[in-house]
Every structure is written in C-alpha cells, then in structure tokens.
C-alpha cells in the first residue's frame, strides 16, 4: 500500500463528532439520493471530472479499478444525488474508515442544500455503522466554499495524526 501523501499547503483535516447534533438530511424538491448501482461508475467519474479540475484527465479505465479495488471502497457508502431528469448532479464517495473521500456537487446544482444533505447522509451512515466521528481533507484556498459548508455542519480542524 502506498504511503499517504503529506498535506499540501493550505490542506486541512476536518472532523465531525457523531453525537446528538446530527440532523436528518433534507433533499431539495426534484432531487433524490440513492447509493451507487451497477452502471453508475461512468457518470460518477464524469461528475468528479467536471467538479475537480485535477481529475479531468484521468481515464475511467484507470480510475474505476483503483477506486472499486480499494480495500475501503463500499458502494453502500457512495451516495448519489439524481435530479428530476435522471442526471447525476452530486455525490459523496466515502471510505469505510469513516472518511469522506470526495464530495462533489455539479456547478448547476449548487446553492440548493444538496451538499449539506449529502454530509448529513454520510454522517448518519457512519453513525449507523458504529463510527464515533467522520473525517475529510480539503484545501482552504481551493475549496473555500466547501470549508464554509463543513463548518456549518459542525466539522472542526484536527491534527493530521489519527
């Protein structure tokens, strides 16, 4: 297994304690959440490419085996948000170690509360699995709006160890 990369400048690790502050996700009208199904991976790859510039060039045939073959991958921890036209508009890809690997909301779907609902969904799923907290990594400069979302749902900065 490769060594974890050290944090880049402006990277932070955030944590949410899974306690009584959890709320039920609220999905905006016209949007539904479901877990990853057979055949969803290409749309997920495309969404991540649209949202994260550094992923736009990674071929699906390299990305999917790496993701689906990871020991921490579980399709039940990949939450997809579908709009009224059946399009994938947002996703939270989580690892079994109670870590949110990717949170992506298509630019056309932002500002509707979808990202926040996905966070609450992930928190509830991990609480149901017995986790005491959930972590993620982000960059305070590149993802300033995401940092505000994470703080709004009660996440706080922690050290990189643990």
Model pLDDT for residues 13-43, shown as the tens digit of each residue: 999 999 988 999 999 999 999 999 999 999 9
| Domains in the chain with CATH codes | 11-158 (3.40.630.30)
Q: How confident is the model at residue 5 (pLDDT cuts 50, 70, 90)?
A: low
Residue 44 pLDDT more than 60? yes
| φ/ψ bin of 10: left (φ > 0), alpha (ψ from -120 to 50), beta (otherwise) | left
Whole-prediction pTM: 0.90
How does strand 88-95 pair with strand 99-105?
antiparallel
Q: Residues with Cβ < 8 Å from 79, sequence gap 6 or more?
A: 33, 34, 35, 91, 92, 94, 118, 121, 122, 125
CA 114: distance to chain centroid?
11
State the CB neighbour count (10 A cutoff) for residue 53: 9
Q: How confident is the model at residue 55 (pLDDT cuts 50, 70, 90)?
A: low
Residue 45 pLDDT more than 50? yes
- The pLDDT score that the predictor gives to residue 161 is 54
pLDDT tens across 95-146, in order? Answer: 999 999 999 999 999 999 999 999 999 999 999 999 999 999 998 877 888 9
Closest CA to 45 of 80, 69, 14: 80
Q: What is the average per-residue pLDDT within 62-66?
A: 95
Tokens of 22: 């959890």
**E strand or H helix that includes residue 84:** none
Task: Decide: 84 and 30 in contact? Cβ < 8 Å.
Answer: yes
Q: Residues with Cβ < 8 Å from 151, sequence gap 6 or more?
A: none
Lowest-pLDDT choice from 7-11, 44-48, 63-67 = 7-11
């Amino acid at each position: 297994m490769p060594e974890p990369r050290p944090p880049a400048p402006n990277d932070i690790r955030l944590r949410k304690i899974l306690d009584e502050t959890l709320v039920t996700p609220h999905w905006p009208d016209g949007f539904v959440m479901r877990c990853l199904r057979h055949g969803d991976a290409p749309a997920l790859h495309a969404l991540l490419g649209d949202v994260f510039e550094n992923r736009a060039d990674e071929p699906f045939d390299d990305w999917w085996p790496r993701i689906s073959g990871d020991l921490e991958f579980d399709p039940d921890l990949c939450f997809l948000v579908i709009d009224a036209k059946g399009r994938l508009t947002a996703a939270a890809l989580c690892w079994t170690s109670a870590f949110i690997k990717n949170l992506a909301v298509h630019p056309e779907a932002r500002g509707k509360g979808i990202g926040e609902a996905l966070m609450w969904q992930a928190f509830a799923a991990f609480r149901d699995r017995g986790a005491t907290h959930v972590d993620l990594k982000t960059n305070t400069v590149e993802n300033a709006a995401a940092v505000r979302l994470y703080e709004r749902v009660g996440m706080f900065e922690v050290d990189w160890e643990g």
